Amino acid sequence: MKLHREGYLIITIGLLILIGIQFLNLLLWMAVGWLWLFIVLTIGVLVMAYLIVQFFRIPKIVFRGEDRDIISPADGKVVVIEEVEEYEYFNDRRIQISIFMSPLNVHANFNPISGLVKYVKYHAGLFLVAWHPKSSTDNERTTFVVEHPSGKEVMHRQIAGAVARRICYYVQPGDAVKAGEEYGFIKFGSRIDLLLPLDTKINVQIGDKVKGRVTKIGEIQ
């Protein structure tokens, strides 16, 4: 496991603050002698340090998907599977699969398919809770479209939530990408939407917990 580069500054600042809090905790214990309070606050500091570090963890995973597999772009839970009208790029109907990422999930994002990046667009917006039905169209988000070697195109969106306030991405139109490679990161609770061709074979159900670079979402036909 390694730590994501987006977390270096936050981890450093967070740990310095927690060290300061623990130092004050030690001074308080020495002044009043309340061991129980010192233990409680120490446990709280350790828990916060763990949560800050684990949020930016990147587990070491060897990607083993097949050529036409659509791989989960993030860790999380499938909260939506439905047919929708897509107006931003395709202007036709697509199967939308939405993955909710809690603050405890790994928040790096990975390419769901291999191919050529045809479209990238950032949209400023609101910060509705990530499971809100309008978060896909009203929240701050970045949309990507990748064309598979078969000619089929897959859209995926990074969507900010009520807590997530920064979307990071590292690809541009014209880039050749590989399934399972990292393309971005969302800081603190968020959501990823996949917009797939109607003939896509779907391999997940609502409520399924999925793992980035591991879970097969579907298969391009």
Poorest-confidence range of 91-105, 129-143, 174-188? 129-143
pTM for this prediction: 0.83
pLDDT at residue 33, as a whole number: 85
Can you tell me the distance from the alpha carbon of 18 to that of 24, in angstroms, rounded to the nearest whole number?
10
Q: How far is residue 137 from each of residues 97, 156, 183, measured CA to CA in Å? A: 14, 13, 21
pLDDT at residue 106, as a whole number: 85
Task: Note the CATH architecture for domain 69-219.
Answer: Distorted Sandwich (2.70)
Main-chain phi, psi angles of 26, to 5 degrees: -65, -45
Is pLDDT above 60 for 135?
no
pLDDT at residue 126, as a whole number: 64
Q: What value does the mean pLDDT take over residues 133-157? A: 86
> Which residues are annotated as catalytic?
190
pLDDT in tens, 28-54: 999 988 999 999 999 999 999 988 888
pLDDT in tens, 65-81: 889 999 999 999 999 99
Can you tell me the distance from the alpha carbon of 179 to that of 63, in angstroms, rounded to the nearest whole number?
8
Tell me the two tokens of residue 152.
């089929």
What's the whole-number average pLDDT of the chain? 89
pLDDT at residue 132, as a whole number: 56
